[in-house]
Structure 1
Amino acid sequence: MSDHSPDPGAEAANAPRGLNMRQLEVFHAIMTTGSLSGAALALHVSQPALSRTLSHCEVRLGYPLFERVGRRLQPTPEALRLHEEARDVYRGLDRLNTLAQRMGTAGVDTLHIAASATFATTLIPQALRQLMRHSPGARIDFRTATYDELPEHLLSGQAEVGVSLVQSDHPGLKSRLLGRQPLLCVLPADHPLAGEPCIDPQQLCRSAWIGYPPDTPLGRTCERLLGMDIACASIQVRSPVIALSCVQMGLGAAIVSASCLSLVPPGDCVTRPLAVVADSDIWAITSARLSGSALAQNFVDALYAVIQRLERAA
């Protein structure tokens, strides 16, 4: 009787395999551009060569990645799922390149800062002015980020210091409370409540006002501390800076941190205290695993001094 048992070597040779880096690059380019011709231009290779590489990809994987629809390639469900992971790979590569470039300029004193837009045009520039007086040769890379984006910037090495309205609970990060700023109400000059000496948050809910979603720091404060029904806001925004722009256009009142008031042009709006005292915290966030540079520490100290000076003047 002949032996028809499978050949383990043949099975291993025919088993589906993963993609190598070049094949992943080709797959990512096709998914990004939507066509072989676009991917060929992006990768500076001929279209026939790219087509052969794609065929090799599908042979290695054991299933098709694209279907032809007219002159375009339609990704299969498998391709869409793979591309989700491929995007993570390329984001990681971007972070690696950013870190490599920073290490390549190790001789240059550069501080990378990420901060909420709330502080971008007010507190941060004041702190930088103080910092540059003591470190005139320093270079600053400053970007804005939402509070939920800050941890990724810090953990990936894209930023050394983050400034946020909320404390980070990530085990790889540490937070330092720099101070507090009172929350105030900014209203268009012709708003029905503009003549009031102070603003009751409950009364504000019955007029035109600009609110924040419940997953934002100010949204949580308005809902939990001030007892406001944030769902009834005329407009919802994710940044006090945008809220102030809406106020200036006469779209309603908004509750913002006192640190934003320098953005309010005189005459366009009026500012009133709240009937309920409420503050917003200001946190400096840094890595809990890496020791910060002297420049980073000097910046945090300068920002602390600016905030304390504002608190004393309030």
Structure 2
Amino acid sequence: MSELVHFGIIVSSHSFINELHKGTNMNFSFRQVEIFKAIMITGTVTGASLFLGTSQPTVSRELAQFESSIGMRLFERNKGRLKPTRQGTALYSEVLKSYEGLERVKAAANFIRLGIREKLNIISLPVLSQTILPTSFMRFIERYPDINISLTTRDSPAIENMIASQGFDIGVIEGITPPSGTSIEQVMDIDEVCILPPNHPLISESCIDIHLLRDYSFVHLGPNDPYRYQLDRIFSDHGISRSSIIEVDNAAAICRMVLKGLGISIINPLVARSYVPQGLVLRKLSVTVPFNVSIVRPLSLGTSLVADYLVDCIRQTAAEMRLETLYDLQS
């Protein structure tokens, strides 16, 4: 069935519409359609005027002009009430369909405004995707259960290249320096911790002096890792040499090796805390080794309420994990 779109109204090509349309200009306004709809709902000119917040003469005049423009009588007058004609009833059915379409447009506009139809593209370091993001996503999905999220994890320097491409909505990284073309917000500032296997002699220390570590084997990240560079400099500045070093490429492997008694280490507390139930012991250090987590967002992208809410969730989760870590280190 073909349809005629005129002033936002979808008019089906029923035979009587075609006949009436012949030789008729059909120049009407959306306001007149609103008045027609209000009369159909209330049954009287008075009711329609109250419904629309306008005067009765205005309703009567606009209805007469509407009927004249479309070449149809839409109502029979009977004792102050308006009874729709067959044509009026048929047209009202089409008007309702048109309004349903407008409501869908409104809903779609609202979804787009909120970002619900977006797929949020998140990039993250693997360590942060395994620690901060799961709880953050859980919070987010409680409000937006139908949202699509794409999470890509990369180590440094690959993640810097992805950030430079601007092909993401939110990045979760370590450090406080904004990559080119991004804004940055620090969401966690805490120190790295010393991790020990069960029954290690240093467990009795609530805060481990850096000099006490000279007698123990170490499991470290590789020499190109920025945190390894910081630690090497700290040990060098204090004149401390380490006896045996095992190098691995991720903090989770370090935790597992420390649990096996292959050495001790200094790593970020987020990964370390996840191994405490298995017996890993965390202790503060007498020196500061900063561990910072930040959110980056491309400057080229506009705002999105949905993306903003996910940032709120990440911010809240990071703050809670920081407090939980500090509490664990004090107890």
State the TM bucket, normalised to the shorter chain.
0.5 to 0.7
Q: Counterpart of 1:298?
A: 309
Q: Deviations over 1:80-109 (max 9, x none)?
A: xxxxxxxxxxxxxxxxxxxxxxxxxx9843
1:140 equivalent to 2:162? Answer no
Matches within 5 A, 1:206-225: 206-224=215-233
1:112 equivalent to 2:124? Answer no
Q: Counterpart of 1:261?
A: 272
Shift of 1:187: 0.9
Shift of 1:174: 2.4
Question: Which of 161, 165, 172 is the aligned partner of 2:181?
Answer: 172
Which range moved further: 289-298 or 184-193? 289-298
Q: Deviations over 1:154-180 (max 9, x none)?
A: 233543221111234532222211121
Q: Counterpart of 1:188?
A: 197
Q: Counterpart of 1:272?
A: 283
Measure the CA separation in 2 of the matches of 1:168 and 1:147.
Answer: 14
RMSD, aligned CA: 2.7
Q: Which runs of 4+ in 1 moved over 6 A?
A: 228-231
Which range moved further: 300-309 or 166-175? 166-175
Q: Deviations over 1:106-162 (max 9, x none)?
A: 984321112112222211111111111121111111122113222222233543221
Shift of 1:218: 1.7
Query: Which amino acid in 2 is paired with 1:191?
Result: H
Measure the CA separation in 2 of the matches of 1:107 and 1:136.
Answer: 10
- Secondary structure of the residue aligned to 1:112 is strand
Query: Which amino acid in 2 is paired with 1:263?
Result: S
Contact kept, 8 Å, 1:122 with 1:262, in 2: the verdict is no
Query: Which amino acid in 2 is paired with 1:308?
Result: A
Measure the CA separation in 1 of the matches of 2:241 and 2:307.
Answer: 37
Question: Which of 229, 244, 247 is the aligned partner of 1:236?
Answer: 247
Distance 1:198 1:154, change over 3 A: same
Query: Which amino acid in 2 is paired with 1:249?
Result: K
Distance 1:174 1:310, change over 3 A: same
Contact kept, 8 Å, 1:183 with 1:258, in 2: the verdict is yes
Measure the CA separation in 2 of the matches of 1:236 and 1:124.
Answer: 27
Question: Which of 257, 268, 272 is the aligned partner of 1:246?
Answer: 257
Higher Rg of the two aligned structures: 2
Distance 1:305 1:273, change over 3 A: same
Measure the CA separation in 2 of the matches of 1:221 and 1:184.
Answer: 13
Unaligned 5+ runs, structure 1: 1-105
Q: Counterpart of 1:149?
A: 158
Contact kept, 8 Å, 2:116 with 2:147, in 1: the verdict is no
Matches within 5 A, 1:303-314: 303-313=314-324, 314=326
Measure the CA separation in 2 of the matches of 1:192 and 1:291.
Answer: 54
Measure the CA separation in 2 of the matches of 1:232 and 1:144.
Answer: 34
Measure the CA separation in 2 of the matches of 1:142 and 1:291.
Answer: 20
Measure the CA separation in 1 of the matches of 2:316 and 2:199.
Answer: 37
Contact kept, 8 Å, 2:123 with 2:151, in 1: the verdict is yes
Q: Deviations over 1:37-74 (max 9, x none)?
A: xxxxxxxxxxxxxxxxxxxxxxxxxxxxxxxxxxxxxx
Query: Which amino acid in 1 is paired with 2:159?
Result: L
Measure the CA separation in 2 of the matches of 1:140 and 1:246.
Answer: 33
